[in-house]
């Protein structure tokens, strides 16, 4: 079961005005309406932290001849 703290940290962004707000700002009646400008389209905002991804080591392999022309 998810914790209420993590669920409340989901951030949303209005497509029209660009303001970012938490899930708590959304009303139960209009869950897709911006609380600031009233526009009816919102999206989940991207996290301000970056994700670290491991890169492929395929290019470092000398036996991979398909990179040569």
pLDDT range class, residue 67, cuts 50, 70, 90:
low
**Quick one: three-class SS letters along 14-55?**
ECCCCCEEEHHHCCCCCCCCCCCCCCCCEEECCCCCCCCCCC
Q: What is the pTM of this model?
A: 0.53
pLDDT, position 45 = 86
37 is in an annotated binding site: yes
CA–CA dist 18, 40 (Å, integer): 13
pLDDT range class, residue 28, cuts 50, 70, 90:
confident
pLDDT range class, residue 10, cuts 50, 70, 90:
confident
Q: Is residue 19 pLDDT above 80, yes or no?
A: yes
14 is in an annotated binding site: no
Q: Where are the domains of the chain?
A: 11-44
CA–CA dist 65, 69 (Å, integer): 9
């Amino acid at each position: 079961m998810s914790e209420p703290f993590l669920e409340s940290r989901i951030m949303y962004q209005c497509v029209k005005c660009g303001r970012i707000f938490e899930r708590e700002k959304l009303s139960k009646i209009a869950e897709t309406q911006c609380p600031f400008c009233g526009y009816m389209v919102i999206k989940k905002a991207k996290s301000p932290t970056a994700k670290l991804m491991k890169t492929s080591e395929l290019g470092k392999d000398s036996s991979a001849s398909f990179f040569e022309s």
